[in-house]
Structure 1
């Protein structure tokens, strides 16, 4: 039985790494983001994407969907978007009469694997409420029937430039997302030159077609994710270390955390939630599995710590405008300050 499990774990790992390599062929300069999204896929966690306009988020998600199989759906956040727009849409039929059809959340049914909510903070809070409920429950009642969405992962991005007609996602809602992953413009000059002058990057649909289809089986990921979680173990030392990291997000002064431009004690209003720390361990186990280990090391927690914890931290209001920079500094200082166990 152990040999069968080891073979299954190795086979899925090879396919997971192949997915990363295939997506890297068409999405340049985003290796870390692709790796983190791969972790989220196997940890079965929803993702916030942090990045500006035109950095390739849509092409990246379509490429990943092609690699894992299943259906891809997308909706644009607008100030006039209503909850029902996610569930159904109306149109005039051939006979000139109004018709009702399933909307983007329901159209693919159980085959929906990736749902992209673009500029989610342009949508009103009642739209957020519906989306967050579906994310948590993965089913919805409509058209007098129950729609199950067991394989759906939600990726959402926020417009972080414009403030007019936006409705920021509250901290309790952000906590529903496993990670917030930055999608940044590559800093390497040669990569920038390729993005500007290599004409293949001007045709997103052709790019995604270069990814080998169905490297993974989207409808088997839930079961295999549970296999990973039960396979990768955590020692008592790692458990204590994870608890210290959690406490440091709540009371950084207890661990001697110091920041350059602000008192860390005055910065934090609320630290990471129990849900967030549970997600940290889930993602860390996936990272360990991808590194061919069956036990957790501190580096597995470090690899996903910022992306899982930062968006969950609630700062005092005077610091919210500097959230991105301050959260990155704080999570780095926590990792530096909290003592790593001598033996994992």
Structure 2
């Protein structure tokens, strides 16, 4: 028991060091940074919505430096083709042979900037690597490095020249985080740092250590009542009337898939791991519920007309589907060690 507790504390300490290095460069955005680390630990992909200039690219680049991983950024544009992402076969005229040139998706952290600007065929190419973590080029399968996380950004204020993301691809993102403007105090610090001497980022972890942390995170104890809670919440998005939300039913065209239930538990487990615990509590799952669900609920035209958001619907659901009571810590530890 003591050994497990020490492991959790040591792992949380390492993640704190990584976060400290990132925050030497990135000011504020605590919720966003926490969700990036949760996605890393849970092996999930992250969709980020925010206006330009909020340090989304800088965050991922700095994180890759701190954990000594490879980082690639792809600027999605309407003229992008699948080979620009995954790679292609090249013909050598001298030897008469073909060689494979791997694309930028072969990295640890991939930033897909303005992902909704690329056409459907490019989205389909990204779909395979996100789900299967592999790429097929000319019939040959190539595995991407481990760990591998895609962080995609969307601009909410500009729709000219954009393509709606396919629902199948949106569902592959474990979470969708909303990034807002910094406060006046934070912006003062941002300007001071950017116009001053740049801080160097120390390499505090390796990709091998991160892979080990991912494995440890999956070993955290999750009480069955939390899994039942996740299933009920996701079920309420599909059948609000059965959950006692008859008035909300007209606002939802399609509810969340089982990936949402899995994502709530996986993300909640990673968040508990970040907090230095060897078990998951109800607040861990509650804290990630909106991030996991908001992009999976397809709103009806009535909801759009009434300016009802997915977050509003999630709030209604959580009022009628209560989280299980917080169990005694001694009981949880005893069950987890059994």
| Superposition TM-score, scaled by structure 1 size | 0.83
Question: Are 1:335 and 2:318 counterparts?
Answer: yes
Question: Are 1:166 and 2:162 counterparts?
Answer: yes
Per-residue CA deviations over 1:229-278 (Å, capped at 9, x if unaligned) read 223231x33233222222222233444459xxxx4211112222111210
Q: Confirm or deny: 8 A CA contact 1:68 1:217 kept in the other structure.
A: yes
Task: Quickly say closer, same or farther: Cα 1:190–1:241, change in 2 above 3 A.
Answer: same
Task: Quickly say closer, same or farther: Cα 1:343–1:89, change in 2 above 3 A.
Answer: closer
Q: Which residue does the alignment assign to 1:265?
A: 249
Comparing both structures, which one devotes a greater share of its residues to helix? 1
Question: Are 1:193 and 2:195 counterparts?
Answer: no
| Larger mean Cα displacement after TM superposition, 36-45 or 236-245 | 236-245
Task: Quickly say closer, same or farther: Cα 1:295–1:65, change in 2 above 3 A.
Answer: same
- Give me the whole-angstrom Cα distance separating, in 1, the residues matched to 2:211 and 2:188: 40
Aligned counterpart in structure 1 of residue 135 of structure 2, from 140, 143, 147: 140
C-alpha displacement at 1:332, in angstroms? Answer: 2.1
Task: Quickly say closer, same or farther: Cα 1:221–1:143, change in 2 above 3 A.
Answer: farther
Matches within 5 A, 1:114-125: 114-125=109-120
Q: Which residue does the alignment assign to 2:231?
A: 243
Per-residue CA deviations over 1:56-113 (Å, capped at 9, x if unaligned) read 111111111112221101111111101011134899xxxxxxx99543224xxxxx21
Question: Are 1:36 and 2:32 counterparts?
Answer: no
Q: Which residue does the alignment assign to 1:286?
A: 270
- Count of residue pairs the alignment pairs up: 320
Could you say what the CA RMSD is over the residues aligned between the two structures, in angstroms?
A: 2.8
Matches within 5 A, 1:1-344: 4-88=3-87, 101-106=101-106, 112-142=107-137, 146-149=141-144, 150-186=146-182, 188-195=183-190, 197-198=191-192, 200-202=193-195, 207=198, 210-213=200-203, 215-234=204-223, 236-257=224-245, 263-320=247-304, 326-344=309-327
- Give me the whole-angstrom Cα distance separating, in 1, the residues matched to 2:81 and 2:141: 20
- Give me the whole-angstrom Cα distance separating, in 2, the residues matched to 1:194 and 1:44: 32
- Give me the whole-angstrom Cα distance separating, in 2, the residues matched to 1:220 and 1:194: 32
Task: Quickly say closer, same or farther: Cα 1:35–1:77, change in 2 above 3 A.
Answer: same
Q: Confirm or deny: 8 A CA contact 2:39 2:149 kept in the other structure.
A: no
- Give me the whole-angstrom Cα distance separating, in 2, the residues matched to 1:38 and 1:241: 24
C-alpha displacement at 1:10, in angstroms? Answer: 2.5
> What SS does the aligned partner of 2:156 have?
coil
Unpaired runs of 5+ residues, structure 1, are 92-98, 107-111
- Give me the whole-angstrom Cα distance separating, in 2, the residues matched to 1:341 and 1:163: 41
- Give me the whole-angstrom Cα distance separating, in 2, the residues matched to 1:172 and 1:320: 21
Task: Quickly say closer, same or farther: Cα 1:141–1:342, change in 2 above 3 A.
Answer: closer
- Give me the whole-angstrom Cα distance separating, in 1, the residues matched to 2:322 and 2:105: 45
Task: Quickly say closer, same or farther: Cα 1:113–1:322, change in 2 above 3 A.
Answer: farther
C-alpha displacement at 1:220, in angstroms? Answer: 4.1
Unpaired runs of 5+ residues, structure 2, are 91-98, 328-338
- Give me the whole-angstrom Cα distance separating, in 1, the residues matched to 2:20 and 2:181: 19
Task: Quickly say closer, same or farther: Cα 1:318–1:218, change in 2 above 3 A.
Answer: farther
